[in-house]
Amino acid sequence: MNSHQSKDSNQSIATPDIYTRVTDKIMSDLERGELTWRKPWNSQNLSAHVTFPMRWNNIPYTGINTILLWATAAEKSYDLPHWMTFNQALELKGSVIKGEKGTQIVYADRMVKEEEDKNGDTQLKQIPYLKTYTVFNVSQINGLPDQYYKAPEVKQTELKQRIAELESFFANTKADIYTGTEASYNQNADRIQMPPIEIFDSVEDYYSVLAHELTHWTKHPKRLDRDFGRKKYGDEGYAKEELVAEIGSCYLSALLGIEPMPEEKHAAYLQSWLKAINNDKRLIFAAASYAQKAVEYVQGLQPSS
């Protein structure tokens, strides 16, 4: 949280209420066969440009807030990336348009509590909890500085140059990627298999699916060591990992400026996701966090500019 955010713009709500509210929204989308975190790319206003939602100070939102704001932007057809609180708008000489409703997002914090241990000694214990606060898209605000109302410029690059950039990005990870008959990651062999690029409808589709498999690649014990207790294909641990890879693919696609493309098996995952999310209200928060860590790990493998 920054100094521009006032106390009255955030609320400390019982953590289960936050988890339930966000989970119910995403469950509702999944039951309709929709994917909240993909919505910006299906929005007419955002179809030409992929971008992360941004704070007033040009710092991108991360984790679950990315998903929440992408969903609202698509639902309301907002094509501007910046979001801010009511008071942040005031400090920038702007004003929220009368009747506009904000979007609740979350902020992780910790409280310190004194507890006695078994020896009767008092110890300080940090307890994590979530707050919610409300933000508005700049499309809902009048009077802000002009730069907030400028749509992001679409980067114009030749196709060959664009492919070279994407090839370099994935090559810099040093992941073992080979051509085969399906898109998959084998953890035992620590290899990513991808079908020939020629069979995809577009080169962007190829790289989007590769981003999904690269997210799986980050779970290896020698990397992020991500393990959900998966025992067999289709079980709850499998569903959790697929959910992380799906969100990770969307994050990486946004980073690379390509449209995320689901794998052919994607529809079958929906039911397992529904079950897993319904059984664990915290899962979508955790999956978004794991996906964020995977993307940051992959970004860390790129040469510094």
pLDDT at 13 over 50: no
CB neighbourhood size of 116 (10 A): 9
Q: Give the separation between CA 276 and CA 284, rounded to whole angstroms.
A: 10
The token pair at 93 is 């000489």
Mean pLDDT, rounded, of the chain: 82
**pLDDT recorded at residue 233:** 67
Q: What are phi and psi of 128, to 5 degrees?
A: -75, 145
Q: pLDDT per residue over 182-210, tens digit each? A: 999 999 999 999 999 888 888 888 998 99
Looking at the DSSP assignment, which residues form a beta bridge with residue 162? none
The token pair at 211 is 């981003």
The token pair at 131 is 């707050």
Q: How far apart are the first and last CA of the chain?
A: 29
> What amino acid is encoded at 292 in this protein?
Q
User: Quick check: 26 and 277 in contact, CB under 8 A?
Assistant: yes
**pLDDT recorded at residue 239:** 85
Does residue 238 or residue 156 have the better pLDDT?
Answer: 238
CB neighbourhood size of 172 (10 A): 13
**Confidence band (pLDDT; 50, 70, 90) for 3?**
very low
Q: Give the separation between CA 151 and CA 138, rounded to whole angstroms.
A: 11
CA distances from 143 to 3, 68, 95, 305 (A): 21, 25, 6, 36
Q: Give the separation between CA 231 and CA 77, rounded to whole angstroms.
A: 41
Does residue 12 or residue 93 have the better pLDDT?
Answer: 93
**Which of 5-14, 43-52, 136-145, 255-264 is modeled with the greatest confidence?**
136-145
User: Quick check: 149 and 239 in contact, CB under 8 A?
Assistant: no
pLDDT at 11 over 70: no
pTM of the model: 0.78
The token pair at 92 is 């920038």
Q: pLDDT per residue over 275-302, tens digit each? A: 888 888 888 899 999 999 999 999 999 9
Q: pLDDT per residue over 137-162, tens digit each? A: 999 999 999 999 987 765 555 656 66
**Average pLDDT, integer, range 239-250:** 90
**Average pLDDT, integer, range 231-242:** 79
Pick from 81, 62, 40: which is nearest to 260 by CA?
40
How much of the chain exceeds pLDDT 90, in percent? 42
Spell out the residues 6+ positions from residue 135 whose beta carbon is closer than 8 angstroms to its own.
69, 83, 84, 85, 102, 103, 105
How much of the chain exceeds pLDDT 70, in percent? 81
